[in-house]
Homo-oligomer: A and B are copies of this chain.
Amino acid sequence: METKIGNQSYEAFPMNGGQGQYSYAKNSNMQRIGADITKHISRDAIIEKLDVESLVQHSSNVIRIADLGCSVGPNTFFTIQNIIDAVNLKAQSQGHGLDSSLEFQALFNDHAGNDFNTLFKSLPEDKLYYAAAVPGSFHGRLFPESSIHVLNSSYALHWLSRIPKDIVDKNSPAYNKGRIYFTNEDKNVAGAYSAQFAKDIESFLNSRALELVPGGIMTLIIPCVPPDSKNAFQAQANIMENILAEMANEGLISQEQIDSFNMPIYMAASEEVKELIEKNGKFQIEKSELLYKLFDNKSQQIDAHKACMHLRAGFEGVFKNHFEEEGIVDEFFIQFEKKLAESPFLFSDPAYKQLGGLFVIKLLA
């Protein structure tokens, strides 16, 4: 009798832990805005599409909710509570009273290197659910079969499980010399990124298909590029490349360090995400919405400083891992904020619609 958990040797890029000035906990307001503006859509989809009555009959009154790529909070607590509220509303509409014995377990997932200690210390005191943390890459299996009823993942699926092999292979036509991301003109590099993303989404969906109960629902917020938008991350990565090139000129880092460095994320086109879900075939798309369409003028509050802090909370670990010399990463982000401030169009030009999409999908029976 063997229970294989599978080969979980994925690369891990955790957000900055703790509660300090560069922490994810203090610099994840943009993700919070995303959770806020999609709150009603997620709730309505759960109320409309989740058959709580039938789920509960198979699971002794326990509803398990997972958040994949939860980081350290506080956004994950907001998301879990929103899902619980929706399930409760649906349960009531299906005849469960206020005295029901429905119990909730929230499963917070992120890489084993995530700062779960901070997550646990900041759990809401008045939470009405049992909390558990599950370490590991969501590109592999995380939970026992048919054990999760509702699953969320926000701003996490654009992280690749690994850097595409070819783009660091000097003998490959996709070798990404001198760059850390790709432009649409780099067909080979773009193709390598896109292929890795497709593989990752496929393994994510296959694992979740086993873990969700039939009829279970996923709400996914995936950073991606709407059809009528310019790619903001490509512009930001280009700024990063220029800074690194200058730092190499000054002898602070080597050209070889730049050649071997690549951003481990991929901003897909929104249609590309949709097609991958459809191609996988195990889930039905119940809703898909582009976030910028839901957005009001809150977006105007983003400036170079906030954008830099936001990107630093997410990417500092990736840079530190590669550029290990003392002070290099601090210097990089000082320069990055300056250059972002010199490119105000990134925050004001409505052609950049960088908020991604919400996909609500349901596991087919």
Name the one of B92, B101, B130, B132 contacting A141, with C-beta atoms under 8 angstroms: B130
Q: Which of B98, B101, B116, B142 contacts A145 (CB 8 A)?
A: B101
Chain B minimum-CB-distance residue to A104:
B3
Give Cα distance in the complex from A4 to B4, angstroms. Answer: 36
Known: A62-B147, A91-B1, A103-B3. Is A131-B127 also a contact (CB below 8 A)? no
- For residues 111 through 162 of chain A, which have their beta carbon under 8 Å from a beta carbon of chain B? 112-113, 115-117, 120-121, 123, 127-136, 141-147
The answer to whether A128 touches B91 (Cβ under 8 A) is no
Q: Is A102 an interface residue (CB 8 A)?
A: yes
The answer to whether A31 has its CB under 8 Å from any CB of chain B is no
B128 contacts A5, C-beta separation under 8 Å: yes
Q: Is the CB of A127 within 8 A of B61?
A: no
Complex contacts, A2 vs chain B, CB 8 Å = 98, 128
A120 CA to B107 CA, complexed, in Å: 15
Tell whether A97 is near chain B: CB-to-CB under 8 Å: yes
Q: DSSP majority for the A interface?
A: loop
Closest to A96 in B: B1
Closest to A127 in B: B5
CB < 8 Å neighbour of A60 from B3, B4, B146:
B146
Q: In the assembled complex, which residues on chain B have CB atoms less than 8 Å from the CB atom of A117?
A: 115-117
Contact A128 B4 (CB under 8 A): yes
Whether B130 lies near A133 (C-beta < 8 A) is: no
Most chain B beta-carbon neighbours within 10 Å: one of A91, A97, A131:
A131
CB of A101, distance to nearest CB on chain B (Å): 7
Asked whether any CB of chain B lies closer than 8 Å to the CB of A105, the reply is yes
* Pair B105/A116 contact, Cβ less than 8 Å: no
Q: Which residues of B contact A194 (CB under 8 A)?
A: none
Q: Are A97 and B1 in contact (CB under 8 A)?
A: yes
Mark each residue of chain A from 83 to 94: 1 if its CB lies under 8 Å from any CB of chain B, else 0: 000001001100
B147 and A1 contacting across the interface, CB-CB below 8 Å? no
Would A5 and B145 count as touching, CB distance under 8 A? no
Q: Does A100 contact B (CB under 8 A)?
A: yes
- Out of B105, B116, B141, B143, name the residue touching A144 (CB < 8 Å): B105
Alpha-carbon gap, A133 to B123, bound state (A)? 14
Task: Write the chain B residue with the least CB distance to A91.
Answer: B1
Q: How far is the CB of A112 from chain B (nearest CB, A)?
A: 4
* B144 lies within 8 A of A62 (CB): yes
> Are A5 and B113 interface neighbours, CB within 8 A?
no
Task: Note all chain B residues with C-beta closer than 8 A to A97.
Answer: 1
CA–CA, A91 to B4, complex, Å?
Answer: 17
